[in-house]
A and B are shown apart, each in its own frame.
Chain A
Amino acid sequence: MNRNYLMFDIRRTLRNRRVMIFAILMPLVLFAIFGLTIPKDAAAGGISAIAYVMVSMAMFGSMSAAMSSGGVIAAERDGGWNRTLRLTPLKPQAYVINKVILSLLVAVPPLIVVFLFGMTVGHVHLSASQWITVALVSWLGALPFAAIGLVIGYVAKPDSMQPITGLATMLIAAFGGLWLPVDQMPSVMKHIAQLTPAYWTGLTSRSALTAGGVDTQALLVVLGWTVVLGFIALRRYRADTARA
């Protein structure tokens, strides 16, 4: 990690607010449509339906923010910036670690905003420890998507970057059950959902709200996804920066 470089990236991210605003607004709108219309006493799997939707939408927001953050890499590669960096003493792995940290940072605002919205407008009542647990677990759930963002950043061209990220975000969210609960889908959809990392991150986060506590099995699957995707990102990155 290079702190100087991280601060540079954070300043740039704060200047280009569009991505962040989209990542916050999108889940808020979906929350309003799918969450606020639910009867107050509706519940599923031991948690209130509105809390269920809130967590799913927060996950969706942090996931799309984390994924699009990696897209900066595509633009930087295209502009030859990675060549410039290779001609400085910056260690290549420091660059990747910086980008992962950046992805995790941009995943925070959507989580906070959606949770605050759920707390105030949605009247979701959780204990302080539940709020903290669900926030931390949801934040951890952004990790595999940060890795996906890196992979896309190393594979895509800058102009195909946004559509690819957008489509991937939609597909993963829809098929992973972040928009509509998997339990309400046909069973074949449930099997498909289990093939996406979003299903497991959603399961992990929602489990924080149940009496049983965090579903460690689902959490392990999330970490497994992170390891696999992180490995792919690392390979792409090595191929891209192979030095003579």
Chain B
Amino acid sequence: MTTTTAVSLVGVTKKYGAVQAVAGVDLSIRVGEVVALLGPNGAGKSTTIEMLLGLVRPDQGSVQVYGGTPSEAIANGQIGVMLQSGGIIEDAKVGELLNLVAGLHTKPMPVQEALDRAGIADLYDRKMKGLSGGQKQRVRFAMAIIPQPELIVLDEPTTGMDVESRRDFWASMHAETARGRTVLFATHYLEEADAYADRVVLMRNGKIVADGTAAQIKASVSGRTIRATIPGADLTALAALPGVRNVETRGDVVLLQCADSDDTLRYLLGNTTAHDIEVTSADLEDAVLAISDGSAYQGKESVA
């Protein structure tokens, strides 16, 4: 293990009863990377994070953080964590809570600085109980950065936030990544992964099914989709076209997934009654859906 590796998971598995929550995960995160762990509920994101933090012991495999165990990294104050929910004391004031957390660490930043960075300087004397969901998330964020950790781990940090707080939150987060911190965040918001991560790790059924930049993942689902209204279309003929990978219909509307949309368009305009034609390229959501449902635009025919 070199010092440029922040996190290393090798062959990690975890089973809860009959449920295989994590089914063999290998993940290496370099220092300074901002990684999004993306996947639907039940994909194994939280369990993976819990094992990374040492809250849960893996059945098999090894977890290393900065070359040591997760517990060692935590004892050294190297990891700052923002949990999805809970993890606070409702009858405490914001200032009390942050002073307490700062006091538990060896090299904390001044509490005022954490408040400023999280944008909650005005909440110092407020009780946690009376805060909105978004405000509480900001307190959790302040708690995560106060130890001045090398690695920040956030489990679905923007759950329950409105659009504006979500944008503000990522602006604060961006300032942290600009300081060269390594960040791992779990999310099921694609646009967050797309906009804020250097690297997207896609999980499904306890496994990593894709790993790369958002652009790479989009590119893995290359080609375009043609949507056209073609009454009485000859689906077999369309599916046989060289540029077409997949054909679906919704009534008279035909969806053609194409490796080469130009040739297909020429054919449609010249040989069919196709009208209302739209051509779109795959976005990250298409890519994720394609990868997640296992089809990945394999070219197999699925005529509805």
Identify the closest chain B residue to A89 (Cβ).
Answer: B75
Residues of A within 8 A of B89 (CB): 12, 76, 79, 81
A83 with B71: CB separation less than 8 A: no
A129 at the B interface (CB under 8 A) = no
Task: Determine which residue in A5, A11, A79 has the highest number of CB atoms from chain B within 10 A of its CB, and name it.
Answer: A79
B104 with A89: CB separation less than 8 A: yes
Q: How many chain A residues touch B (Cβ–Cβ < 8 Å)?
A: 22
Main secondary structure of the interface of A (DSSP, over half): helix
A84 with B87: CB separation less than 8 A: yes
For the A-B complex, the count of residue pairs with Cβ-Cβ distances under 8 Å equals 78
* Alpha-carbon distance A12/B129, docked complex (angstroms): 13
Identify the closest chain B residue to A244 (Cβ).
Answer: B57
Main secondary structure of the interface of B (DSSP, over half): loop
A182-212 interface (Cβ within 8 A of B): none
B86 with A83: CB separation less than 8 A: yes
B57-110 interface (Cβ within 8 A of A): 57-58, 63, 70-71, 74-77, 79, 81, 83, 85-92, 96, 99-101, 103-106
- Of B58, B77, B86, B147, the residue contacting A81 (CB under 8 A) is B86
Residues of B within 8 A of A88 (CB): 74, 101, 104-105, 147
* Alpha-carbon distance A15/B79, docked complex (angstroms): 32
* Alpha-carbon distance A4/B101, docked complex (angstroms): 9
* Alpha-carbon distance A81/B104, docked complex (angstroms): 14
A217 at the B interface (CB under 8 A) = no
B106 with A87: CB separation less than 8 A: no
Residues of B within 8 A of A17 (CB): none
B79 with A81: CB separation less than 8 A: no
Closest CB-CB distance, A88 to chain B, in whole Å?
4
* Alpha-carbon distance A180/B90, docked complex (angstroms): 40
Measuring CB to CB, which residues of chain B are less than 8 angstroms from any residue of chain A?
51, 53-58, 63, 70-71, 74-77, 79, 81, 83, 85-92, 96, 99-101, 103-106, 143, 147
Q: Give 21 A-B contacts (CB < 8 Å), ordered by A residue.
A: A4-B100, A4-B103, A5-B103, A8-B92, A8-B99, A12-B91, A80-B83, A80-B86, A83-B55, A84-B101, A84-B143, A87-B55, A87-B81, A88-B101, A89-B76, A89-B104, A89-B105, A243-B54, A244-B54, A244-B58, A244-B71
